[in-house]
Structure 1
């Protein structure tokens, strides 16, 4: 009689992090992964095993307190210190050599990528950018009806309405509580709230943290109208600058902020999670309000 093959344990991300930091990861494990840095078919179950990476393979990494995945573009001999990594859809390579937990058991897409991983990741990024531009063009060609939308500063008593609007519009809760130094501009179709722009104040700097327009009103200039109003309030409150983080493929938002005078300054990054910037792909745009003062 044959013996059963060893069972591969399925681990959630937090358990992988816990076992990795405690040195108790099994030789092989399974994870349900979605948008992890490598291309997946929705939420896909990956098998990861400890071992030496090879060019073209996808590797599992520990970054801060979370798991990330990257594709190996190049190895300097057998040492990981010279390893070049890049997410399948990302604008640049990562500079990361530590925290490699294992390699992903190759799938069909991994075998295809291994033929020329540099060209594969580069082409994936170009395709993603081209798709974003195509969507933007289609949106402009629709020529949405210009409605007589209005904006006004919302009071603290209206914060519950903001949270309700956010939940109903995007299907998830607003990931922030009321900030002690904030101003919120609402976009209205008559008396109906159809958009919000939330600015948080930190010292002399304002952060345009959250902007959302009801899908039925997008493309009609309402987002820009809110931003202009919020900028005017920041100016009146004597802030010296405003910044915002925008995904580089969110072309409508970039156009709205650029029209209000914001300019790109750097890629967003997180020191606690060095791999996050390639995944979130956010550019920091800033507006210097001191240049507007007499």
Structure 2
């Protein structure tokens, strides 16, 4: 009987040991599977980033200050004999000039929207032009701030075109740029800042210089720095409205220290407004 008892105890200890080994093996397998899943996610993210880098389209090159925009418009000298490409570029320059001008009038914006709409009819696959159209429609809201219904209607209409453009051309940096700036400018309660942050993250990741590659030409290099500063400014604005104030303030502080006109001064003002 004692021998049987010892055998039973032996079997029990063996079973316990085997069970422990089995549990340890299962835990090891779970850890390995978890690590493999994490590695897969990282690889997919890296692949997606590489895909963006290889497939990205650069935005239409537009100066970042109204003085430079005015000079470009004068040099284009748009008339009946102007090429379609020049007339398209002029629309982008005129719109950004208008959007950055404190003395803007609704009639001027409505005229711009009509001209952009006309060009869209002949260029249905021009997704950057669609994004410009959506941005212009959204900008109309500044003239109807006392009319909540009208503001909401215009905001939704503009957003539809902006989101449609991004869906059609997710790797087009110009499309992302116009949606990002438009959504960063919108009031935080509309909940668009999150998408603006995503747009600027993609732009900053996909571009090492703006609006083109790094250049040894001093004028082009200066233009690239101004464009990058503009991106940093609106990215910071989007972060703040997306309840990421610490990161936004840090971005603004960095931009202030770069002394790039006019964006460093604007960054200082925006930072001061945050208290």
TM-score by length of 1: 0.28
**Radius of gyration: which is bigger?**
2
TM-score by length of 2: 0.29
